[in-house]
Amino acid sequence: MILEDGKFKGHSILVETLTKEVPECRRKEVRVLDVAAGTGLVGVALAQKGFTNLDALEPSECMLECLRSKNVYTNTFQEFVGQAHTSVPQGCYDVVFVVGGMGYNHIPYTGVLEFVRFAKPGGLVMICMRQDEEDYLTQLKEYMNSLEEQQLWKKVNIG
Ligand SMILES: C[S@@+](CC[C@H](N)C(=O)[O-])C[C@H]1O[C@@H](n2cnc3c(N)ncnc32)[C@H](O)[C@@H]1O
């Protein structure tokens, strides 16, 4: 559960988990894609922890303008996940994450397949989301399980 006292904790959970996962000596080389990056809050926090190889995907022009002004992302993609294949190249990222971008009116649960496409073989896909959209969450979990049955990815952890 990512809600505590009604407050969304996705940003700090993502940064904490990723910094535990990737030792400081590897943070410059690890290639990371921030999906539904918004204003770039998470990118800024990761850059402060030494991650310098960050790209962002975000459909909104004004969010993109804001995140580009933070000067922490190298490449940016102005696209929606979940409609058709995006132009993000296949199999390029060691880490693909989304914070607060999954849910009704945001990325459809089937967008997970696109995250898998973005990741390198052996790469990490990390999803931080609220748990209050129960139907969406149920569909997402079923879909993630079906991708695992197809051996397209492997569940590592659910927090
Ligand atoms: C709640 S904000 C989270 C922003 C950022 N990740 C953060 O944690 O600060 C959700 C973001 O998802 C983006 N978004 C909505 N639908 C999307 C889609 N289908 N594909 C990609 N991004 C989407 C919105 O433009 C918005 O910036």
- If you measure from the C-alpha of residue 86 to the centroid of ligand 1, how many angstroms do you get, rounded to a whole number? 15
Name the residue with higher pLDDT: 117 or 130.
117
pTM equals 0.95
Give which of 36, 136, 129 is closest to 80, Cα–Cα: 36
- Residue 129 CA, chain-centre distance (Å), reads 10
Burial grade of 120 (CB within 10 A; 0-12, 13-18, 19 or more): middle
Q: Does residue 76 line the site of ligand 1, with CB under 6 A?
A: no
Q: What's the pLDDT at 85?
A: 87
Give which of 75, 140, 73, 71 is closest to 106, Cα–Cα: 140
CB under 8 Å to 15, separation ≥6 — which residues?
A: 42, 45, 46, 49
3-class secondary structure, 114: helix
Q: What's the pLDDT at 4?
A: 52
Bridge partners of 54, per DSSP, are 32, 73
Is it the case that residue 43 has pLDDT exceeding 80? yes
Nearest CA to ligand 1 atom 16: 106
pLDDT tens per residue across span 56-106: 999 999 999 999 999 999 999 999 999 888 999 999 999 999 999 999 999
Q: What's the pLDDT at 122?
A: 96
pLDDT tens per residue across span 9-37: 889 999 999 999 999 999 999 999 999 99
Q: What's the pLDDT at 5?
A: 54
Is it the case that residue 156 has pLDDT exceeding 50? yes
Q: What's the pLDDT at 1?
A: 38
Q: What's the pLDDT at 155?
A: 92
Q: What's the pLDDT at 2?
A: 47
Ligand 1 atom closest to the Cα of residue 10 is: 8
Domain range 3-149, CATH architecture: 3-Layer(aba) Sandwich (3.40)
Pocket test for ligand 1, best of 65, 96, 104, 107 (most atoms within 8 A of CB): 107
What average pLDDT score do residues 1-6 get? 50
What average pLDDT score do residues 108-116 get? 97
Pocket test for ligand 1, best of 39, 106, 133 (most atoms within 8 A of CB): 106
